[in-house]
Amino acid sequence: MARDIGIDLGTANVLINVSGKGIVLNEPSVVAVNTESNKVVAVGSDAYEMVGRTPGNIRVIRPLKNGVIADFDITEAMLSYFIEKLNVKGFMAKPNILICAPTGVTSIEQKAIIQAAEKSGGGNVYLDFEPKVAAVGAGLDIFKPQGNLVIDIGGGTTDIAVLSMGEIVTSQSLRYAGDRMNQDIMNYIKNKHNLLIGSRTAEQIKIEIGSAYEPDPNETITVRGRDMVEGLPKQTTVSAVEVQEAMHDGLMSIVRTTKSVLESTPPELSADIIDRGIMLTGGGALLHGIDQLIAAELQVPVLTADHPLEAVALGTGTLLKNIQKHQRH
């Protein structure tokens, strides 16, 4: 008997949920490849350690860009590696696999994702949309005839969807999410402080002092990088207010897109959303004050899932139990 597997194939992280065991794997979606031999050198956490620190013949690749497969072979190698690592295939048995994709993926991209999973050892492969699966993982009962609004802020995409009776009623996906926040912080520090920093440093700044709403003016962090003028290592101090300024335009694009999803929502479902609030999931939901920002701008209560990073993976576990009932292949 093969165990069913749910995969949250994220731009930043891959999470795998095995039926009966829960989430057994959570690793960065990163692969290190030797460019001379084209061999995969490291996958996941081991490869992430190498980001920005490799010699010329080793390339660190993130095979998913904006929630979509940018490098098919590397994605397949990564999935195969993770699935083998789990050792769940069993003898002659192929597990059912449920993979989650952003709402904006095209049918060609959907086929590519399904194909990568099939090649990496799956039996029946099903595909479902991230905000729907995240809503289930956050504990919402989306199968009732009532409106639920979910904002799933991942690494590559933010997916906003209104759900009712187990289906997406209206949704939009935008390519502003965790990675772009990091990029905005890098650009801001480069322009304002003449300091070049890497994406890992930017992520650290975001996690430690990043705030989407009314940042503490006294909160600062020491940042090290390379001086653009002299080319030498340098350190400077960056404040929480500056980090908020760096991310402000991007965060407002999430607010605007949510507004436009609400505007195209049937009035009965809109009424439900005012009562029930908006559910935030994904790693971006951990950004300090993002719930307050959205609540203040939209005048609707905003809740954050208990385990926002794991919501999609947890949702796959629930959906796999009813796979035949609710799935489109």
Which residues carry a binding-site annotation for ATP?
A: 11-13, 155-157, 203-206, 283-286
Sign of CA dihedral 75, 78, 82, 84: positive
- Do residues 75 and 44 make contact, with C-beta atoms less than 8 angstroms apart? no
Q: Cα(first)–Cα(last) distance of the chain, in Å?
A: 21
Q: Is 174 exposed, middle or buried (0-12, 13-18, 19+ CB in 10 A)?
A: buried
CB count in 10 Å sphere of residue 25: 18
The CA-based angle 49-52-53, given to 5 degrees, is: 70
Annotated binding site: 11-13, 155-157, 203-206, 283-286
299 contacts: CB under 8 Å, gap ≥ 6: none
Q: Is 82 exposed, middle or buried (0-12, 13-18, 19+ CB in 10 A)?
A: buried
Nearest Cα to Cα of residue 42 among 21, 52, 28 = 28
- Gap between the Cα atoms of 246 and 217, Å rounded: 14
Pairing of strands 97-101, 22-28: unpaired
Length of the chain as a residue count: 329
Amino acid at 30: V
